[in-house]
Amino acid sequence: MRNGLVLEGHGGITCGSETASMIRNLYVHDCVFENARSAIRFKTRRPRGGGGENLYYERIRITGSRYAFEWDMLGSATHVGAAAARYPRGQRML
């Protein structure tokens, strides 16, 4: 992706959701991400697997995003039930 402009949304660049293998050879440069929840987002769910290889980002401008990078490798409770728990019972990180 080159010369991209994202003005809002869940992710400027979002890879995955039902990733069962690897995301490979991704090149993103000269992009602007404004007011996206996450500028760069990867997601999959248990037990699908996934991963990344040869991922390159150059000259990225991020403004108004909550996260520069977000990795969700667990999935939502809607799809995987209790396996989606992010933290041990009784603990929560801020």
* Residue 61 lies inside a defined structural domain of this protein: yes
How far is 40 from 86, CA to CA, in rounded Å? 20
Count of domains in the chain? 1
pLDDT in tens, 65-89: 888 988 877 766 676 677 666 665 6
pTM: 0.68
Q: Is residue 13 part of a domain?
A: yes
Residue 31 included in any domain: yes
Residue environment code for 48-77, b if the CB has 16+ CB neighbours within 10 A, otherwise e = bebeeeebebeebebeebeeeebebebbee
Structural domain boundaries enclosing 33? 5-71
Q: Say how far apart CA 24 and CA 10 lie, in whole Å.
A: 21
Stated as kind and residue range, the H or E segment containing 78 is helix 77-80
Q: What is the pLDDT of residues 5-63, one digit of tens each?
A: 999 888 888 887 766 778 889 999 999 999 988 898 887 766 666 677 898 999 999 99
Question: Hey, what are 86's tokens?
Answer: 């992010």
